[in-house]
Structure 1
């Protein structure tokens, strides 16, 4: 399953008119791992539309006690409970109006950024994960993207924004500050699908 058609938008326009809620077709390979998992959760939801989903903490509950005094750990430890991963419902979807100018990739990446660090998406059923590991097999930084696309490092952010690719996280840079981390698969897929040089993307092909 590489391409899915899902209901992300409301049946209402920005000025409040009621309309049939449009559906968006999304290439999963163009999404960061967490945004991809969100899209797969929508696919598995009732009607293929956004709704409450479940997320799970990456670390078992017992690790939260690791820094507590030994006597306190001994008094309150519960092996069965401490081995479990905490799960909770998540439904903090932004309103995505039918005529909003942003595309589905932007919307999904924005929602993915709201999932707390150290948690991952399960899906609409807390007992049935919709996706595998939500970390990419390969991380790319701006320098890697620039080399792959054949552009200057200074142009990476603008180019990827135009292609609909967003960083899936940020981390401390070796020289200080922060740097964006991209999923290599998302960059490759977006680059492969981009129009050729000189293409008029503002024109629609007539039948």
Structure 2
């Protein structure tokens, strides 16, 4: 067991934290605070993997010439100073505080050093900096915002249902003993960039078996219950909204049937033979790691 001492609770004695219980980014954050003056969250120096020349405003800020070129090659470090200590009597523990603040950093940034003061970083690097660099993970809410920015709008319920149906990626890591599932940005980007067919609402209605004048309205209500948003609109003026066909088919196939003990449907909407006479297994919203309290 590797431990550090942190003073992250206002007006309280230092607390000991087991680094082996933390994700890589939270571990590097804990090391940075431990190395800071007084073991306090004065500030954390973060690396971004970029250089100052990658800044689109570099020429505007520094002009051109040898000196500007020298600056352009320097690493783009950011000094994080918005770490709020825990209130003295807060029930939140230090591990939860560390994991939360680690996820508030940009996904491409990671801690590399602590602070001498609130305006000056230390030069000594934390031991876990390299491991933290690869910890580009997001919480569920962050993952959903990341997907929405790329045109994949889902509710939390839809995200869980799509994972259970085998359509969406499962968490890459877990923090806080399984209570904080984390998705790696590479898995999210791969899901966002997957090749899938786009169905108009009328096509969705036909697939779900709705007919008549109210078919499209019934399909929209079902999509709303599932929490699926449209991904784009069909070309042309007045084009219909379009939805990801693989998400629609996954959730429809996994939808419990009526009067058949909750059996799941096959691709054609019929009940699967092996489950038609049995109630479905109760599943956790996320697959928990071995040794967790809910296994």
Range class of TM-score, shorter chain? 0.5 to 0.7
* 3-state SS in 2 of match to 1:81: helix
Q: Report the RMSD for the aligned CA atoms in angstroms.
A: 3.9
Q: Please say which structure displays the higher CA radius of gyration.
A: 2
- Secondary structure in 2 aligned to 1:76? coil
Match of 2:41 in 1: 50
Could you tell me how far apart the structure 2 residues matched to 1:86 and 1:135 are? 14
Q: Give the TM-score, by structure 2 length.
A: 0.43
Query: For residue 87 of structure 1, what is the aligned residue in structure 2?
Result: 77
- Taking the aligned partners of 2:175 and 2:27, their CA distance within structure 1 comes to 17
**Structure 2 unaligned residues grouped into runs of 5+:** 116-120, 138-162, 165-169, 194-287
8 Å CA contact 2:175, 2:181 repeated in 1: no
1:167 and 1:35, CA in 2 relative to 1: closer, same or farther beyond 3 A? farther
Structure 2 residue aligned with 1:117, among 62, 87, 107? 107
Are residues 85 and 161 of structure 1, via their aligned partners in 2, closer, same or farther at CA, if it must alter by over 3 Å?
Answer: closer
Q: Which residue of 2 aligns with 1:128?
A: 124
The SS at the match of 1:102 is coil
Structure ranking higher on relative contact order (CA contacts 8 Å, 6+ apart) = 1
Q: 1:60 aligns with which of 32, 51, 71?
A: 51
How many correspondences in the alignment?
A: 156
Identify the residue that residue 89 of structure 2 maps to in structure 1: 99
- TM-score, normalised with respect to structure 1: 0.58
Q: Deviations over 1:101-149 (max 9, x none)?
A: 1221110011111222322212223422113311358x9xxxxxxxxxx
Is 2:68 the counterpart of 1:76? no
Whether the aligned pair in 2 keeps the contact of 1:106 and 1:164 (CA below 8 Å) is no
